[in-house]
Structure 1
Amino acid sequence: MIARVDLRGAALSSLDARALREALPRAELDVEAALETVRPICEQVHAGGVDAILDLDERFDGIRPPSLRVPAEVLDKALAALEPTLRAALEESIRRARLVHADQARVDSVTQVVPGGTVTERWVPVDRVGLYVPGGQAVYPSSVVMNVVPAQIAGVGSLAVASPPQSSNTGDFVGYPDPTILAACALLGVDEVYAVGGAQAVAMFAYGASDASGATVCEPVTLVTGPGNVYVAAAKRLLLGIIGIDAEAGPTEIAILADETADAELVAADLISQAEHDELAASVLVTDSEELAAAVEAALERRAARTKHTIRVKTALGGRQSGIVLVSGVDEGVRVVDAYAAEHLEIQTRDAAAVAARIRNAGAIFVGDYAPVSLGDYAAGSNHVLPTGGCACHSGGLSVQTFLRGIHVVDYSREALADVADTVVTLATAEDLPAHGEAVTARFASDS
């Protein structure tokens, strides 16, 4: 069901960093090819506004929403109909996320460079954000929490959520996003929600949307965040510059670094938990124990056969993006998982916390037997919108910082500028930009 990659001994030592990354299992995400598909979609939204978006909803999601924006009474009904246990679970998820993200809040700092010369770094939230919540093979009210909470803590003044309309909904919710997504929005106090998915949602956020009368239904945003499929990622790439983005998220992935002390049943359960997201989901085990590898393979066969989404899980586990990587020891395993730079990395080894402290590249690290990735998906308090496709080597997950901009405020007195004038002139002359120096010396021309 799942392939093996043997990197023991010389097989690993002969690989440089690039070759090692290429030797590891990885999902293919051809964003460049998808650009040609999404380009006309984005142009259609730009030109046609609300009517074009509703047409695209009908084309891609099989239903035309009663309205692009979800009415307030529908949001209220979704919250009122929310099953009490699910409501309590969402409220606890929100509470924990707020605890963690509140500690990410930034404060302004003032640095006195010289007497009379200061640089202040102000942290200012973006004005308006569009938060995308997927709704394909599964619906993700948890992604509402993960997008909205850090934006609210950052102080963003205007939030809008978009999620695909669902043809399977009944009653008041026909043609709108899944009721649990609507209820999560209502719980968080978000009342601007749109029934639109895919590339057209990103385009709507970038360009805004007006109806046939010219009335604005959705104002443009300055930043779009949230996970999605390859077409969402392609639209983000295409429209970058018109909007800011968090990342081009690809298929979800888990890597587990385990030694002979790991429980094969737990490892298999965690690999399957990610594989059930999507046929392209990546599940990778890195281990120095052949015995564990064999036991995990057997456990995967048993568990995959009886899980709800058997076909999806088996397809993901059998794909080129999944595998068991054999290494000679935990040190080699650390090198491999750092090269892989997983979205989610579990450490199930002896002295797991010490091993986790050595990891440099991962979206989130889960330490020991009692921190499965699914805890982070819902209720650890951490954020589950994380870099994929190896991007964890240079990018982090969604946080309060995502929604903030640092602005330097420079305040120098006459005396402080005079003290550094020769330095500025010298550097400007070295760069053959004399007017730069003259912009300083002109302020003291009357002194000569």
Structure 2
Amino acid sequence: MILEPDRVLMRHVVMATLAAAAIGAAITTVLHRWDVQPHWMNLIAPPALATSCLGLLVYLARQPHQLQRVIRWGLISGIFCIVLPSWVFTIEAFCSPTVTLVGTLPPITSALFLLTMLMLIALRPQNLLRWSMVSWVAIAAPVLGYLITHPSELISARGLDLLISLGPAMAVQIMLIFSYGKLQRMVSCLYAERFHYYDQIIERQTIRQDAIEQVFHQIHNGPLQSLTLLMREIQQAVIPTTQLMQRLGEVNTEIRAIGHNLSDRACFDWAFNQPASPSAPLEPAMADHWLRLGEGSLIDLDRPLHYLLYEVYSLTLKRSLPHFKTIRVRVRNFSPCEPEQLTLELKRDICLWLEESLCNVGKHAQEATRILVIGECQGDRYHLKVQDNGPGMTSSKIRQGTQQAQRLADRLQGEFRRMNLPEAGYCCELAWPLERSPSLSSDPVRSRP
């Protein structure tokens, strides 16, 4: 299992702490064994602590994902091995007039402070104060109660040290722990707010990139197509000035239409993407539900895909591209693909792919007399292809449009193919599964075969 970097660091700290505690408890056990008359509690608590720390260390090494469980049981073992001696020695001092607490109590104050510091490092802020209060009360209550009822031991050097350590000093430490927990929660809130704003920045950048790519396709499928055809006709023959001015006026109209589309989209984005508060999520703009084709028409992307494909087909073939004029046979069929699980972005990309494929026929398929545009379900896949009987592809170079089409196929978890037909003509095909896994690319990639 792969752990996050902060959990890996915490795991290393906990393992080092368990190892140090096990070694210290083992040394304490050996020292008490050398005593002439060791107390029975000193022969139980240190070995128990060493055994529990060693067992937890081995368990954490084998089960790294059980870090919180190891921390919880390690703190319980530490608290138990400090609380039990505190109560045992205090009860013995109460019951026996010859036994003094200041003379027999082990040095538990240093262990208590060490335990609270480990809590500060290992516990979550919401659990830190509760565990610290429980540990303080369980360890300090019997000792302070005994010292208050035995003033002769209270005024001794050890008694005053225990009183100050377990009383005011521990209270100050609890207050610091409370302040630390509040500070940790504030820092967590700041981090969450920072990541929220970062996500908003990424989302807005994605929206801007999406708009840039849409403008690119509108320019490429609209005025750029018209300019390319106009330049080709000028090179082949002399065009009268009147006709030239008319064609340039059409290009001017197409460019202005793109400008109006950008203005409309900006208004939509301002109206619908303004969050009501810094924590409010961004809403998708209404302009994202529409696609403007290269010839200027708008189509509603909320409609089923086969209706959109038919609209793109009908509107694109009405454009005045030179090789559309020679086509006599037009075959088209767009079968419904249900259930549809395509997002608006993917619908937009597929429609742009179909528009560009049809425009390529109108620009390059010289003397083509037949065009076949089919969208149909074949088994569990949907196949969309554009085929003509023109001269075919003369260059094998993979251009940017083909690369973008391939990226679209990857986003659809399908494939893109282009080929020259055996007899004559050219075919490009996009196919994808009807039921795809949810892990789709979130980057809006526009297709231009």
The structure whose RCO (Cα within 8 Å, separation 6+) is larger is 1
- Bigger radius of gyration among the two: 2
Higher strand share: 1
Higher helix share: 2
TM-score by length of 1: 0.21
